[in-house]
Amino acid sequence: MKVLQITGYGKIAENVEFREVEKPKIGNHQLLIEIHTASINPVDYKIIEGAMKNINKLSFPAPVGFDLAGKVIEKGENVTNFNLGDEVFARVPTDSPGTFAEMIAVDQQAVCQKPSNLSYAEAASIPLVGLTTVQSFQKAKLKSGDKVLIHAGSGGVGSFAIQYAKAKGAYVFTTTSTKNVDWVKDLGADRVIDYKKEDYLKIIEEVDIVYDTLGGDYTKDAFKVLKEGGSVISIAGDPDNETAKELGLNGLIRFLLKLKRFKLDQLSKEKNAYYKFVMMHADGTQLNDIKELIESNHIAAIVDKEYPFTEAIDALEYVKKGHAKGKVVLNMK
């Protein structure tokens, strides 16, 4: 079968290549899924470029890709919730990537039946951004009536998060560029801030939750608009100590992160706030909750572009530019 593999750290075009490998063998609790579509996430090109090697150093050649939609073609002896021919979607576990391929073996606990009202391309766009958002807002204890700031509302995570927060009854602020203002409003955001014309720091105050998808100064500035006792949930800032331990980072790296995080910890104490860096995990049960929201029309899948699998390198380069509205999907068929 054809797969895309990482051959080394560095520039995308120079460090990935297509190869032919044997069909995967499945364990007793696994499904063999024929992949119809796979979506690309920023973490994919970051892994290729080596940005994640302090967390998980690769042995080359290495598989790439986490999101998929496809069909079950084999199942292990102890699989009880799926049948051959089932249409499914999944975010595969972090320690076993490889959805940029024609087939993959996946533990049944990471898999869910595909939403009946989505195409394969739409379904593949959901798992990582959906699970990241659900797990982030769980940490923040999101409830109806909360005021939430979601950065980068037109991105893959942002476009899902706006819809999810609105489905849970929140009042949503978001930031985006001029060309995407109307589009993001249509997703349900209550107040869209055009960052090319407006300064969100002068508009927003006393929000319950900031969902930080950008990192850098945005993480620190989150505390300027946060109410006393609020929550800053980040998927792009520095890991908190608890998450660093969960990631298996050694003591030296955790110490260096603590030094780097000094200002962040200080800001958090001043506001009596909760700061959490979220590294999402695969979860088929949570995917089923997302599936129900999709089938009840509370959340729509947002696909920016589709590429044939043979143009996966071009697709990765496009995602890296950061201009996608929603998700970018590879078609294996």
| Coil/strand/helix, residue 234 | strand
Q: Are strands 111-113 and 274-277 parallel, antiparallel or unpaired?
A: unpaired
Measured CA to CA, the distance from residue 194 to residue 178 in angstroms comes to 5
Cα Rg, the chain, nearest whole Å: 20
Judge contact between 263 and 64, C-beta under 8 A: no
Number of folded domains that form the chain: 2
Q: CATH code at 139? A: 3.40.50.720
**Count of CB atoms situated within 10 Å of the CB of 317:** 14
Whether residue 216 sits in one domain with residue 170:
yes
Retrieve residue 250's tokens: 């050694």
Q: Are residues 118 and 145 in the same domain?
A: no
| CATH code: domain of residue 324 | 3.90.180.10
Q: How far is CA 31 from CA 18, 65, 169, 183, 296, in A?
A: 24, 17, 36, 38, 27
Range of the domain at 176: 129-277
Assess whether 86 and 43 both reside in one domain. yes
Quick one: CA dihedral 286, 183, 66, 332, positive or negative? positive
Same domain, 86 and 30: yes
pLDDT (0 to 100) of residue 39: 98
Residues 6+ apart with CB under 8 A from 272: 228, 229
- pTM here is 0.94
d(CA 237, CA 261): 9
d(CA 231, CA 218) in angstroms, rounded, equals 14
- The per-residue pLDDT string of the chain (333 residues; one tens digit each, 9 = 90 and over) reads 999 999 999 999 999 999 999 999 999 999 999 999 999 999 999 999 998 887 788 999 999 999 999 999 999 999 999 999 999 999 999 999 999 999 999 999 999 999 999 999 999 999 999 999 999 999 999 999 999 999 999 999 999 999 999 999 999 999 999 999 999 999 999 999 999 999 999 999 999 999 999 999 999 999 999 999 999 999 988 888 887 777 777 788 888 888 888 888 899 999 999 999 998 999 999 999 999 999 999 999 999 999 999 999 999 999 999 888 899 999 998
DSSP output for 138-182: HHHT--TT-EEEES-TTSHHHHHHHHHHHHTT-EEEEEE-GGGHH
Same structural domain, 136 and 108? no
In a shared domain, residues 167 and 54: no
Phi and psi angles of residue 104, each rounded to the nearest 5 degrees, phi first: -155, 145
